[in-house]
Each structure stands twice: as C-alpha cells, then as structure tokens.
Chains A and B, each alone.
Chain A
C-alpha cells in the first residue's frame, strides 16, 4: 500500500517537525495536493495538520482557479479528523480516496513538499469556532474563513 506509506511519512513528519500542544505557538503543517484540474486551470487541496493540545486536527480546503477567467475559488474547510491517535488513518483515507486524481505536491514554499506554518490568532480561533459549530455549539455565526488568504500564496 503505497498510500499507507505516504500517510505514515506525513504523520511522522508532523510528529517530528511540528508536534502536539501547539496552542501557544500556532505551529502547524501544510501539504498542498495538486489534483487533476479537469476543466479548471488549477485544483489544489490544502491539508492542514494542527494540534493545539493532544488532539490533532486534520483539515482540508479545496482551491480552484478557473481556466477562462482565472477566478480563484476557495471551498469550505472540512474537518477530516480531530483525534489523538487515529489522525494518520484520516490522512491515509484521504490519500486512498483521491488516489487517482493526485498529480503532485503544491507547497507554499516551492522547494519543499510540505510547509511548517504558524497559524494566526484568527485562524486558530476559526478552527475552534468551526469545531464548536460542527458539534452544534453555535456561539455566533462563523466568520469568513481566514485560511482563504493562504491559497493566494499558490502560484498559478
């Protein structure tokens, strides 16, 4: 299972470069998966791994750039997993599900296959609010997704 091997590397890379209990530093890992764009010019799925405490968020957000107009569209953020142990399983499942559509990596830093990033306060807050929303605890309407700005770092 080549998919399993890649997922293991991602999980291990997260453990060694970023780690858990990052609520103060905001350190997280980003992996951009460049997908078959179909009729679009670009399709990237951004995966973010972030562990404020012992649990690890595995989040994804799709980014598309239209062929004709060059218009960039950021999709909704999805929570694939928030767990202390089974987060590598969520990464593996994602890789298996998208196996046929992968083309390459698309990191913010072109020389690397993954990025270590520092989430802003706004982004950290958004993740917490989104998770509360997911659990039906709505304190206030969810604000605009601050991760949308990160997509702009991807070259077209």
Chain B
C-alpha cells in the first residue's frame, strides 16, 4: 500500500508545515504531481493546493499541460474536498486513481523540493470560497465554474510558454 503511505506523508507534511486556521496568513501547500502525458502532450502536471482557512481543508487541483505544439494549457480548478477530516481521503483517492500515471513531483520554487509552502493572495482565497459556495448553490450546478481563476497565473510553466 505504497499509495496509502504516500498520501499519509503528504497529509503529515501539510499538518506540520502549514496547518489549519490559515485564513489570515493565506499559507497553503502546493504539490505538483507529474503525470505521464497523453494525446501527444509534452508535459502534464496536476497542481494540488491544500489550504485550511479555518478547521476545514480545501483540497483543490488544477491541470496544467504543455501540448504537442508547445502551448501552455491550464485546466479548470476542481474541488476534491472541503472538509475537516475527509480531506485526507481525497488525497488518498487522488493518488490511487492516478497511481498508474504518476511519475514524479514538481515544486514551483525549487526543483529538488517535492512541495511548496505558498502564501495565497486575497483573490485566490476569495476564489476558493466562491467555487465552494457555487458547488452548493441550488439547483446544483453542472459543468465547470467559469469565473476567471487567479491560480492560472501560478503553475510550473506559467509565463514560460505561449498562452493557449
């Protein structure tokens, strides 16, 4: 159960390096999961962000790809979880679901690190709150949350490749 062990380490590191109750500081954790690229893409990373403004922890993910012609393609933000305890399960589920294609880590700041501790901007904090509220609005929405995403500016290749 290496997958379980890996998710255990991720959760432990989040609690140690970032922790809950970070509304004021905006402190969050980023882990870039490199996946084997599909459809002739050159690179594929899932950027996972963990942020706990209060007791609940956001686990959100965003796809980032460099496609076959070198364009930088950023996907929509997905909320995997916002809960006080189940957030651990969502990380475990993510690792299990992608175990066949996960290849390595990528951090923003330092290539040799496996995660970053970030400070989220006010826009980013508000965006997470809005996407969570949208998910629970009635009638329950389908499709993607379409507001512009301030996290698009982050990313492994943000600013380094031609925008799609």
Contact = CB atoms under 8 A, between A and B. Distances in A.
B6 A102 contact: no
B88 to A, nearest CB: 13
Given A5-B105, A8-B105, A95 B113 contact: no
A156 interface: no
A103 B112 CA distance: 28
B9 to A, nearest CB: 6
A105 to B, nearest CB: 6
A113 B5 CA distance: 9
A12 B3 CA distance: 18
A12 B113 contact: yes
A132 interface: no
A128 interface: no
B3 to A, nearest CB: 5
Contact of A6 (B9, B12, B112, B113): B9
B81 to A, nearest CB: 20
Contacts, number: 47
A1 B103 CA distance: 5
B110 to A, nearest CB: 10
B4 interface: yes
A95 B3 CA distance: 11
A112 B16 CA distance: 10
Given A2-B95, A102-B1, A12 B103 contact: no
Given A112-B12, A113-B12, A6 B105 contact: no
A113 B105 contact: no
B79 interface: no
A3 interface: yes
B3 A2 contact: yes
Contacts of B145: none
B2 A12 contact: no
Nearest to B33: A5
B13 to A, nearest CB: 8
Given A95-B2, A113-B8, A2 B105 contact: no
B2 A2 contact: yes
A6 B104 contact: no
A3 B1 CA distance: 10
A6 B87 CA distance: 20
A5 B6 contact: yes
A53 interface: no
B85 interface: no
A117 interface: no
Interface of B: 1-6, 8-9, 12, 95, 99, 102-105, 112-114
Given A12-B114, A102-B2, 17 more contacts: A1-B102, A2-B3, A2-B99, A2-B102, A3-B2, A4-B103, A5-B104, A6-B2, A6-B6, A8-B105, A9-B6, A9-B9, A104-B1, A104-B4, A104-B5, A105-B8, A112-B12
